[in-house]
Structure 1
Amino acid sequence: MRTNWTLIAKVLAGEAGHEEEHILSRWSLQNKKNKQLIDMLKKNWESIEPEDGKIRVDTDQAWMNLRNRLENDGLLSDPAEPATTKTMLPQMMRAAAAVILLVGLAIISYLVLTPDSSSVRLAASTTDNQEFGIILPDGSEVDLNAHSEIEYRLEASGIRSVKLTGEAWFSVNRDPVHPFIVEAGSGVIKVTGTSFSVRTDPESDRIEVYVSSGSVQFHQARKDHKVLSLEPGTLGVLEQNHLEEEKSIDINYLSWKTRKLTFRQTRLGEVADILNRTYGKNIRFDNEILEDCLFTGTFDQQPVDSVMKVIQIAFNLDMEQEKNTFIFSGSGCN
């Protein structure tokens, strides 16, 4: 069975009948590559649910782009079918088409066009206010923060490698024989099975690696440099050719992923910096005095509007919002 993108979109959107679901299920079990594709699409379908901080896409345009691409590549199961307009195609179907695009056509091109290739390649990226989770072909999971990009390669030898720009969380499928290697700036991270985050800052040439479980080997790209072994709860930093382990770790280090925030007598200026990174917003104060106000509070899975309202009320401030920018004004720390 040729890859039937219309059927896949219907199943993802919950608009397929039992027989159609059964057909797709049988197809996904025909070989490993089919199952990889369906697993990745299902994972990323969840990321466009209307929750704060998730990917927003022009689903109408996505559907048309997908049809055009698949027709050009000869992948559409029913190319003779008239083009579907946005007034005829249900919203959820257009959203499902958008997911297929968001996974990255490089993935689809490999799985569909080059089944005999000796390696797997895929790429994914995010922009403003986007977070994106994908399942890699080896079963590992990656969550990308905003303004981030990865290029993944699974060699025929079984070695798994990723090039990262920005910030990502990795949960690596354990394989002691075939290491998982992340190249981030001038740093290299090597694991066999663990969960960890990597953050790069091209402007400062700073690379950070935080380990949640398992162990990580962190070193510079040049092999003659020392290797830093990181255990759970530790943070490794590579900056200006200097590699070291930092003992003091921000309690909100992974807030962009967990959406859990804790502030204990924290300067409001620092609170704003953390919230900007967590929610992808631009929080500013028109009075510098406000940045020194101390704030204590906790948030768990709260939308950014609720967090802004709490800060506004806590300090009796005025607040203006324009798209992704919040501006607080007031006379001081009331």
Structure 2
Amino acid sequence: MSETRLTEAQYDAITEAAAQWCMRLHEPDCTDREREAFAVWLNADPLHAFEYEAMLDIWDVSEHLPRPEPIGAHVVQLPQVPRRSTWQKYATAAAITLLAVPVAAYSGWELGWVPNAYERHQADAQLQTVTLPDGSQVELNLGTQLTYANYKDQRRVTLSKGEAFFKVSHDVAHPFMVQAAEGRVRVTGTQFNVWMYEDQVKVTLLEGSVLVTSNQQLSGDGLRLEPGMQARYKAGDYTPQISQTYANAPDLAWRNGKLVLDNLTLADALPMINRYLGTPLVLADSATRQLRIGGVFNTKEINNLVTSLPKVLPVYLSVNQDGNPVLNALPRG
């Protein structure tokens, strides 16, 4: 951050500029010239980058702001905004304002628009366990990012990427939501695991019950899971696929730093492997996809797994034009 001491007005001006850039850069008609100007502004002072990161946090919250509900006989009306604006952009501006002004923030809390607690958590090279403000505990796998926001009517976690195991503090009146890809998991108090890679999601329930929906735009609360059940979905799925798990299933082995591949086809194993790779592995063709793999691997050494595959499977490695390692099945003689 800058060593120069700023006046309150100067600091407020930087905060306002960060908010404006945040909203403008999320517009579909933002031009290359504007992006270049933003880069110049961002690099002009470390404080600019610091404030912009804070605005991205608020944007993350505002993406899920609920629309206003009727209050008594009155409906909360949003002000008229220019043609190019949308409710989402106004909500972002409102969130920035409400979080900055205590009295307005209280009103936003009462309306269910603005959280009174917001946290971002990230696990990179080490597993991490965090306790959320509501007392819930979350274990984060490697390469996991999530945020927590506490609203008046719900507790909301957004899983941006990775995998997390939740022990949720029981509160029937204040449900706990986990948003992953296009779907949602709704609970009041339970233990469950959520795995996500790109737009694929897998929910495994250990204790209690959860409601899983694959698309938050659909009506209803989703399908109910009981202990020992698992739900899978990907973007575009109308409903999740439900299956039974078994005792000592490998889905939670990551909590001990392990990846267990139980005689899976490479097609099924690929998302589990790529979850830990900076550069995703690619399968060359259908013959490669049908090869099977099994074993227990250290999640911190998945790169070694990729390079060792030619030693245990009839495959060889190449590199495609994008720089991705490609696994190729050896031709059959």
Give the TM-score, by structure 1 length.
0.50
Give the TM-score, by structure 2 length.
0.50
